[in-house]
């Protein structure tokens, strides 16, 4: 292509990808602003404003359909849905993080610029239509997340987990790049929309490339056995940001994976592979969650298990499966941000909750009813109880597997999620049915602070949304329109 | 108002009454004191539906109409709507249920006065009416079953209403559990019908009857009949009904005489075109009905508890109705359901009035400190009540004569029609009906005797309770006597709705035209010939004669000898009398043959199985899962190199899976 052509469509492309532009620019603004007005109260508000603006701009794009920047990005439809999901997750995260960091007296402006840059990376990843944009988005997102993990360094754990995350992430990125190279070698194109035709039925080189590419994705969504960084990182990172990492980054990675599956791959071979990884992810994630005594670690394993449920839907390889996966990502985002939001308010040991055990939470549901009762909703929804959204979400991911004759896979999923009820409900047992022992740190010191209004708002909003998504199907119906 | 909104009103008023009285009573203790308000509200919520039924009845154009409110459930081929059918049968039943129901609600205001559970009682009664209306109006078997189970639940709640007495709770449990047996059969019948027909609404079922596999149809009808024996207390599931008298007397009148226990008959009448296609089962129904009628009547004659007499009498009368069903005269069964609701409702309410009065005597006796204990339901300590309770006595007498079948009272018409239909069936090719007819006649004689015995022991002669010279019961308040008079009046005139065919060739038989006429929903068995007119008159004379003889004999025996005559009978009949008095020892037999083996099996076989095998499997699985979790935890070392090894393992796995 010649440059004049590129410039001629530039303004239209920028308009189509406006949320990405807004978020990127806001990130730059925050960096500069923070450099001159360190610890200024306006920093988080600028961030929030940028995210809300981007969210508002993206809403009309839901009904659009097309590409921008010469086929590098997809616009509208599923991409818009995922973008909204990422931006929504970002908004809720900033609203949770703002009072949280204030309470810890950690006014770090870089947190907000990193959230913005990570969001920009995710937006690019979620809307990518080309292997290069996938890679750029993936790396932008990942590098920001490595930094975010270690940024709030009140203790050693944060830095340690950031380093682990970085090393292992770099390792998996190597495989991912290698896979890209093989795919390019096998097909001669990096554009996802051209790859399916170019691949034909696929050479060995092609399928090896697919396998290595999948490694990168499975690492990002923390599927077993690429999951081992997850518990350490989730435990060490600041709690509200864990909510962000565990939801938005997975949504972006899954969206890119779905794009690859739908556009680039011939429809065979990979379903069985995904089914195998779905099974081991669900089983091992759930089984390991059983024996955790730290709630954040338990939630980390639970997020591994949930990635397994989504892989079930993808393994079905049908339009219903993809739309079910997108719906599940929405539900999962709402309940996970809520759960981590509650946990972020229950940290009264000095290590920001990284040593926070179940025992120290005994009876907290009665002492802090708002946290207790919203946690009831989040846990029941995570466990998949009707009428909450978690139930409908599980339906949306398991039903396509049954329709695709993967009954054994769906049964494994249902059994695995039956196991999950144990550890989710155990949290509630501790919250409500145990009484605090004397001398627990929580009863004396940490509980005195008032829950910030903004946090209350986020928790109540998430709870209400779980009920709404559980009893109405509008969001599910919406995802159903994306895949043909 | 159009009929849809009327049906809404009919269904929602009782439900609202139950909800208001129940919830306010539950959460607002001050509401419980508002007896007047509770009573008026509860009664209005039944009286208004009655008014709505009257409107529907008057504007009925002869065509069945179905009102669909919304879909209850839809799964695969099965779609169940909340659909309600208004036709001749459901209108008649609705009028009886809400009409008699309203009267009994009024009566309950007086009867339950001062009871701690006044609010609860009215909430349950309204809920019962709601469920009963679902049963009779439902256009498919599932809505009917909802009502069927709902009335069972209300029956359970009301039998055990005074739950502090363990015997009452036991009676409630017995009723519920025995009904479950019948309900199970009903459910299986529904499954069969759904499998054969593919739908469960009445029109589809009836339309599909002739094309169904006859064996399956017979099986389904048999199972429906089994369900009916549970709800309508027939052999072998009749023993719960006498025990159900543990509930307050208005409950006995409403649920265990006038309405709920007749729902089995209603079910068979509703599906009468199907039943007619299973003649073998019909013969069985007739024989079971006749046997039940005789057995219950012989027990009734030996009972001393006034409510128990009436309870066995109910079982016996229900047996008559099943006889009518069995010989193919479904409309006559419904006719008897209606007249029985009048006179048996009146009898039960009368007995309630008596108990109310005797309760006062019991209370006074206990107060005096004489140490006398008095069972207010035992007829042996009654007698001579006619001077203290004239209204109760008069209405009781009228309805006694009505049930005995004294000519021109309600029971005469319906019972005579049943016997005539049995005779007709016997004459035209159904020899088993001879047995049924003979047993029916004998039962009619016994009915007259035991009813007049109950009347005489209660109201005639001289008082037999301690200190009868100073202690008197009082007549019940107007809220109780007015319903008695209304029901007594209906027991007198109710029979004229079914004037037998001997007069004007049946043109005056309104109930026949209404239910089984050209557009009527109830089928009937048609015979090849006609019984000669003279024969019909002779049969009427025979039936009347039996009733008159029974009443006269009973009157003579019991006014002259009183309780001593029971002893004379006992010594005359010896073992037979003991058999009657012991209720044929059915309870004991069930206890030995069913209850004990089940309890023993539960205790020695199933409990260990559950504990060691089932729990063992469950706990073993849980243990293994936790053990696995414990082992897997050791792979999570926290060291980056071991994590990287995990990733390499995953890479090898995925490449291998993808390529080979």
pLDDT at B442 > cutoff 90: yes
B67: three-class secondary structure by DSSP: strand
A109: three-class secondary structure by DSSP: helix
pLDDT at A154 > cutoff 70: no
Nearest C-alpha neighbor of B132 from the set B277, B314, B297, B262: B262
C-beta atoms of B646 and A277 within 8 A: no
Burial classification of residue B188, based on how many CB atoms lie within 10 Å of its CB (0-12 exposed, 13-18 middle, 19 or more buried)? middle
Its sign, for the CA torsion B553, B554, B556, B562, is: positive
C-beta atoms of A225 and B650 within 8 A: yes
CB contacts of B625 in chain A (<8 Å) are 287, 290, 419
Residue A71 zone, left/alpha/beta (φ > 0; ψ -120 to 50; rest)? left
pLDDT at B430 > cutoff 90: no
**Which of A104-108, B253-257, B497-501 shows the lowest per-residue confidence on average (mean pLDDT)?**
A104-108
CB contacts of A163 in chain B (<8 Å) are 640
Number of CB pairs, chain A paired with chain B, less than 8 A apart: 82
At B101-155, the pLDDT tens digits run 999 999 999 999 888 889 999 999 999 999 999 999 999 999 999 999 999 999 9
pLDDT at B494 > cutoff 60: yes
pLDDT band at A102 (very low <50, low <70, confident <90, very high): confident
The Cα of A59 is separated from the nearest Cα of chain B by a number of Å equal to: 35
Q: Which residue has 């809505």 as its token pair? A: B143
CB contacts of A228 in chain B (<8 Å) are 635-636, 642-643, 646-647
**Which of B48-52, B306-310, B570-574 shows the lowest per-residue confidence on average (mean pLDDT)?**
B570-574
- What single string gives the DSSP state of each residue in B39-90? HHHHHHHHHHHHHHHHHHHHT--SS-EEEEEEEEEEETTEEEEEEEEESHHH
**pLDDT for res A445:** 44
pLDDT band at A436 (very low <50, low <70, confident <90, very high): low
**Which of A329-343, B70-84, B545-559 shows the lowest per-residue confidence on average (mean pLDDT)?**
B70-84
Q: What average pLDDT does the segment A45-62 reach?
A: 94
**pLDDT for res A245:** 92
Q: Which of residues 610-629 of B touch A (CB under 8 A)?
A: 625-626, 628-629
CB contacts of B626 in chain A (<8 Å) are 290-291
Is the peptide bond preceding residue A225 cis, with omega within 30 degrees of 0?
yes
Q: What average pLDDT does the segment A277-302 reach?
A: 91
C-beta atoms of A228 and B646 within 8 A: yes
pLDDT at A374 > cutoff 90: yes
Q: Which of B629, B657, B658 sits opposite A291 (nearest CB)?
A: B629
Q: Which of B633, B642, B657 sits opposite A288 (nearest CB)?
A: B633
C-beta atoms of B650 and A215 within 8 A: yes
Q: Which of A219, A228, A273 sits opposite B658 (nearest CB)?
A: A273
Its sign, for the CA torsion A19, A22, A25, A29, is: negative
pLDDT at A115 > cutoff 90: yes
B63: three-class secondary structure by DSSP: coil
Nearest C-alpha neighbor of A58 from the set A111, A127, A139, A116: A127
Cα separations in angstroms, B13 against B131, B193, B454, B633: 12, 33, 38, 61
**pLDDT for res B508:** 82
Q: Which of A161, A177, A211 is the best substitution to test chain B (most B C-beta atoms within 10 A)?
A: A211
Q: Which of residues 631-650 of B touch A (CB under 8 A)?
A: 632-633, 635-636, 638, 640, 642-644, 646-647, 649-650
pLDDT at A349 > cutoff 60: no
CA dihedral B251, B253, B254, B256 (to 10 degrees): 80
C-beta atoms of A171 and B626 within 8 A: no
Comparing alpha-carbon positions, the chain A residue that sits nearest to B643 is: A228
pLDDT band at A451 (very low <50, low <70, confident <90, very high): confident
R_g over Cα of chain A: 21
What mean pLDDT, rounded, does chain B reach? 90
User: Which helix (H) or strand (E) is A75 found in, with range?
Assistant: strand A73-75
**How far is CA B40 from its chain centroid?**
26
DSSP code of residue B164? T
**pLDDT for res B10:** 93
Q: What average pLDDT does the segment B398-426 reach?
A: 93
**pLDDT for res A373:** 92
Comparing alpha-carbon positions, the chain B residue that sits nearest to A271 is: B658
B486: three-class secondary structure by DSSP: helix
**pLDDT for res A348:** 60
At B59-117, the pLDDT tens digits run 988 888 899 988 888 887 888 889 999 999 999 999 999 999 999 999 999 999 888 88
Give the Cα separation of B544 and B420 in Å (integer). Answer: 12
**Terminus-to-terminus CA distance in chain B, angstroms?**
74
Are the C-beta atoms of A72 and A140 separated by less than 8 Å? no
C-beta atoms of A172 and B647 within 8 A: yes
At B604-630, the pLDDT tens digits run 999 999 889 999 998 888 888 888 888
Are the C-beta atoms of B475 and B481 separated by less than 8 Å? yes
Tokens of A324: 């079910």
Are the C-beta atoms of A141 and A118 separated by less than 8 Å? yes
The Cα of A281 is separated from the nearest Cα of chain B by a number of Å equal to: 12
Give the Cα separation of A407 and A401 in Å (integer). Answer: 7
- Kindly provide the ipTM of the predicted complex, given to two decimals: 0.88
Q: Percent of chain B beyond pLDDT 70?
A: 99
* A316: CB partners within 8 A, 6+ apart: A271, A400, A401, A403, A404, A406
CA dihedral A360, A362, A422, A382 (to 10 degrees): -80
What mean pLDDT, rounded, does chain A reach? 89
A465-480 as b/e, with b when 16 or more CB fall inside 10 Å? Answer: bbeebbeeeebbeebb
At B237-286, the pLDDT tens digits run 899 999 999 899 999 999 988 899 999 999 999 999 999 999 999 999 99
Nearest C-alpha neighbor of A166 from the set A189, A147, A185, A193: A147
Are the C-beta atoms of A16 and A75 separated by less than 8 Å? yes
CB contacts of A291 in chain B (<8 Å) are 626, 629-630, 633
Specify which residues B86 forms β-bridges with.
B65
C-beta atoms of B628 and A287 within 8 A: yes
pLDDT at B291 > cutoff 70: yes
Q: Which of A161, A207, A287, A302 is the best substitution to test chain B (most B C-beta atoms within 10 A)?
A: A287
CB contacts of B643 in chain A (<8 Å) are 164, 168, 228-229
Residues of A near B (Cβ–Cβ under 8 Å) read: 163-164, 167-168, 171-172, 175, 204, 207-208, 210-212, 214-215, 218-219, 224-226, 228-229, 231-232, 269-270, 272-273, 276-277, 284, 287-288, 290-291, 419
At B332-371, the pLDDT tens digits run 999 999 999 999 999 999 999 999 999 888 888 887 766 6
Q: Percent of chain B beyond pLDDT 90?
A: 60
Give the Cα separation of B605 and A434 in Å (integer). Answer: 37
Q: Which of B618, B631, B658 is the best substitution to test chain A (most A C-beta atoms within 10 A)?
A: B658
Are the C-beta atoms of A318 and A453 separated by less than 8 Å? no
pLDDT at A352 > cutoff 50: no
Q: What average pLDDT does the segment A125-138 reach?
A: 94
Are the C-beta atoms of B205 and B273 separated by less than 8 Å? no
Are the C-beta atoms of B231 and B238 separated by less than 8 Å? no
Give the Cα separation of A144 and B330 in Å (integer). Answer: 82
CB contacts of B653 in chain A (<8 Å) are 225, 276
Backbone angles phi, psi at B81, to 5 degrees: -100, 155
C-beta atoms of B632 and A288 within 8 A: yes
Q: Which of A175, A215, A228 sits opposite B636 (nearest CB)?
A: A228
C-beta atoms of A218 and B654 within 8 A: yes
C-beta atoms of B653 and A215 within 8 A: no
Give the Cα separation of B267 and B261 in Å (integer). Answer: 11
CB contacts of B644 in chain A (<8 Å) are 167-168, 171
Give the Cα separation of B596 and B582 in Å (integer). Answer: 20
Tokens of B159: 């039998």
* B471: CB partners within 8 A, 6+ apart: B361, B364, B365, B465
C-beta atoms of B655 and A208 within 8 A: yes
Give the Cα separation of B273 and A305 in Å (integer). Answer: 58
Nearest C-alpha neighbor of B101 from the set B69, B136, B60, B57: B136
* A43: CB partners within 8 A, 6+ apart: A30, A33, A34, A37, A109, A112
Backbone angles phi, psi at A387, to 5 degrees: -95, 25
Nearest C-alpha neighbor of A374 from the set A449, A466, A469: A466
Its sign, for the CA torsion A103, A104, A107, A109, is: negative
Q: Which of A163, A204, A211 sits opposite B654 (nearest CB)?
A: A211
Q: Which of residues 408-467 of B touch A (CB under 8 A)?
A: none
Specify which residues B68 forms β-bridges with.
B83
**pLDDT for res A1:** 52
Nearest C-alpha neighbor of B423 from the set B315, B336, B539: B539
DSSP code of residue B584? G
Nearest C-alpha neighbor of A334 from the set A465, A152, A187, A481: A465
**How far is CA A226 from its chain centroid?**
16
Comparing alpha-carbon positions, the chain A residue that sits nearest to B632 is: A288
CB contacts of A159 in chain B (<8 Å) are none
At A172-197, the pLDDT tens digits run 999 999 999 999 999 999 999 888 88
Backbone angles phi, psi at A482, to 5 degrees: -80, -30
* A93: CB partners within 8 A, 6+ apart: A115, A240, A241, A243, A244, A248, A337
pLDDT band at B489 (very low <50, low <70, confident <90, very high): very high
Its sign, for the CA torsion B291, B295, B296, B301, is: positive
**What's the half-sphere exposure (Cβ side, CA atoms, 13 Å) at B516?**
22
Nearest C-alpha neighbor of A245 from the set A259, A230, A257: A230
C-beta atoms of B632 and A287 within 8 A: yes
Q: Which residue has 């036709």 as its token pair? A: B87
CB contacts of B652 in chain A (<8 Å) are none
The Cα of A430 is separated from the nearest Cα of chain B by a number of Å equal to: 19
Comparing alpha-carbon positions, the chain A residue that sits nearest to B649 is: A225
**CA angle centred on A67, ends A61 and A70, rounded to 5°:** 145
């Amino acid at each position: 292509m010649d440059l004049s052509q590129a410039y001629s469509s530039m303004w239209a492309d920028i308009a189509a990808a406006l949320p990405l532009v807004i978020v990127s620019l806001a990130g730059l603004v925050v960096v500069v602003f923070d450099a001159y007005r360190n610890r200024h109260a306006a920093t988080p508000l600028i961030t929030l404003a940028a995210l809300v603006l981007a969210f508002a701009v993206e809403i009309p794009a839901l009904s659009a359909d097309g590409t921008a920047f010469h086929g590098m990005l997809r616009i509208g439809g599923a991409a818009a849905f995922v973008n909204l999901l990422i931006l929504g997750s970002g908004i809720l995260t900033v609203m949770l993080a703002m009072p949280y960091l204030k309470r810890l007296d950690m006014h770090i402006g870089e947190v907000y610029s990193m959230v913005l840059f990570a969001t920009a990376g995710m937006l690019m990843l979620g809307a990518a239509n080309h292997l290069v944009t996938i890679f750029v988005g993936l790396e932008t997102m990942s590098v920001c997340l490595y930094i975010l993990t270690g940024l709030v360094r009140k203790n050693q754990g944060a830095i340690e987990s950031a380093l682990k995350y970085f090393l292992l992430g770099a390792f998996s990125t190597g495989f991912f790049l290698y896979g890209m190279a093989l795919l390019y070698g096998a097909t001669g194109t990096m554009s996802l929309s051209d790859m399916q035709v170019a691949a034909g039925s696929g050479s060995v080189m092609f399928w090896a490339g697919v396998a290595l590419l999948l490694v990168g994705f499975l690492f990002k969504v923390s599927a077993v056995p690429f999951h081992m960084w997850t518990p350490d990182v989730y435990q060490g990172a600041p709690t509200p940001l864990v909510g962000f990492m565990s939801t938005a980054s997975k949504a972006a990675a899954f969206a890119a994976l779905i794009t690859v599956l739908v556009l680039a791959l011939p429809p065979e071979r990979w379903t069985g592979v995904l089914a195998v990884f779905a099974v081991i992810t669900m089983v091992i994630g759930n089984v390991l969650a059983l024996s955790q005594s730290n709630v954040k670690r338990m939630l980390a394993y639970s997020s591994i298990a949930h990635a397994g449920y989504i892989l079930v839907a993808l393994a079905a390889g049908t339009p219903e499966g993809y739309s079910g996966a997108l719906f599940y990502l929405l539900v999962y985002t709402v309940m996970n941000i809520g759960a981590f939001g509650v946990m972020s308010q229950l940290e009264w040991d000095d290590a920001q909750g990284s040593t926070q055990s179940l025992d120290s939470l005994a009876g907290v549901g009665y002492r802090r009813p708002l946290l207790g009762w919203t946690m009831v909703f989040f846990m029941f929804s995570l466990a998949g109880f009707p009428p909450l959204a978690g139930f409908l979400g599980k339906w949306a991911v398991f039903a396509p597997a049954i329709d695709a004759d993967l009954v054994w896979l769906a049964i494994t999923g249902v059994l695995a999620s039956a196991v999950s009820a144990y550890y989710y409900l155990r949290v509630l047992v501790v919250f409500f049915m145990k009484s605090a022992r004397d001398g627990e740190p929580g009863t004396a010191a940490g509980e005195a602070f008032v829950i910030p209004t903004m946090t209350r708002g986020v928790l109540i909003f998430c709870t209400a949304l779980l009920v709404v998504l559980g009893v109405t199907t509008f969001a599910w119906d919406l995802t159903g329109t994306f895949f043909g | 108002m159009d009929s849809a909104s009327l049906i809404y009103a009919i269904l929602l008023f009782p439900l609202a009454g139950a909800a208001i009285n129940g919830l306010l009573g539950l959460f607002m203790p001050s509401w419980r004191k508002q007896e007047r308000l509770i009573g008026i509200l509860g009664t209005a919520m039944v009286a208004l539906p009655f008014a709505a039924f009257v409107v529907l009845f008057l504007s009925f154009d002869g065509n069945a109409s179905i009102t669909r409110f919304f879909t209850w459930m839809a799964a695969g081929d099965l779609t169940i709507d909340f659909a309600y059918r208004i036709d001749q049968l459901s209108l008649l039943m609705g009028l009886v249920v809400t009409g008699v129901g309203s009267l009994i609600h009024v009566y309950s205001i007086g009867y339950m006065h001062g009871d701690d559970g006044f609010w609860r009682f009215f909430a349950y009664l309204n809920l019962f009416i709601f469920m009963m209306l679902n049963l009779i109006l439902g256009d498919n078997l599932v809505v009917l079953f909802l009502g069927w189970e709902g009335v069972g639940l209300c029956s359970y709640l009301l039998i055990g209403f005074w739950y502090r007495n363990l015997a009452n709770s036991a009676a409630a449990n017995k009723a519920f559990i025995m009904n479950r047996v019948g309900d199970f059969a009903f459910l299986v019948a529904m499954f069969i019908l759904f499998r054969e027909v593919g739908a469960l609404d009445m029109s589809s079922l009836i339309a599909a009857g002739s094309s169904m596999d006859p064996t399956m149809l017979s099986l389904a009808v048999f199972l429906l009949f089994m369900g009916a024996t549970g709800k309508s207390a027939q052999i072998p599931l009749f023993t719960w009904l006498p025990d159900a008298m543990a509930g307050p007397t208005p409950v006995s009148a409403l649920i265990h005489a006038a309405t709920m226990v007749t729902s089995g008959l209603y079910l068979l009448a509703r599906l009468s075109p199907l039943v007619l296609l299973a003649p073998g089962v019909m013969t069985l129904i007739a024989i079971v009905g006749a046997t039940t009628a005789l057995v219950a009547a012989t027990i009734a004659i030996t009972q001393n508890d006034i409510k128990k007499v009436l309870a066995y009498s109910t079982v016996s009368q229900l047996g008559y109705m099943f006889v009518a069903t069995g010989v193919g005269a479904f409309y006559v069964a419904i006719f008897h359901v209606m007249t029985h609701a009048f006179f048996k409702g009146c009898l039960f309410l009368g007995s309630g009035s008596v108990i109310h009065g005797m309760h006062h005597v019991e209370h006074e006796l206990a107060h005096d400190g004489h140490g006398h204990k008095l069972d207010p339901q035992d007829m042996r300590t009654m007698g001579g009540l006619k001077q203290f309770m004239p209204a109760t006595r008069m209405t009781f007498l009228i309805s006694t004569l009505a049930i005995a079948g004294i000519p021109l009272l309600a029971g005469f018409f319906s019972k005579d029609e049943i016997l005539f239909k049995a005779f007709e069936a016997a004459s035209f090719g159904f020899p088993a009906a001879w047995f049924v007819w003979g047993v029916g006649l004998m039962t009619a004689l016994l009915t007259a005797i035991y009813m007049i015995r109950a009347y005489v022991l209660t109201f005639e002669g001289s008082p037999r309770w301690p200190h009868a010279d100073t202690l008197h019961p009082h007549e019940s308040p107007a809220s109780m006597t007015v319903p008695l008079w209304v029901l007594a009046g209906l027991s007198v005139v109710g029979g004229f709705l079914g004037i037998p065919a001997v007069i004007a060739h049946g043109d005056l038989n309104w109930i026949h035209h209404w239910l089984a006429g050209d557009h009527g929903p109830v089928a009937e068995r048609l015979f090849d010939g006609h019984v000669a007119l003279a024969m019909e008159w002779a049969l009427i004379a025979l039936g009347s004669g039996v009733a008159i003889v029974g009443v006269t004999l009973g009157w003579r025996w019991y006014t002259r000898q009183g309780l001593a005559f029971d002893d004379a009978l006992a010594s005359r009949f010896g073992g037979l009398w003991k058999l009657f008095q012991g209720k044929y020892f059915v309870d004991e037999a069930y206890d030995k043959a069913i209850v004990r083996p089940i309890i023993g099996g539960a205790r020695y076989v199933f409990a260990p199985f559950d504990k060691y095998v089932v729990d063992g499997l469950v706990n073993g699985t849980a243990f293994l899962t936790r053990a696995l979790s414990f082992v897997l935890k050791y792979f999570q070392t926290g060291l980056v190199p071991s994590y990287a090894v995990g990733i390499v393992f995953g890479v090898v796995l995925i490449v291998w899976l993808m390529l080979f």
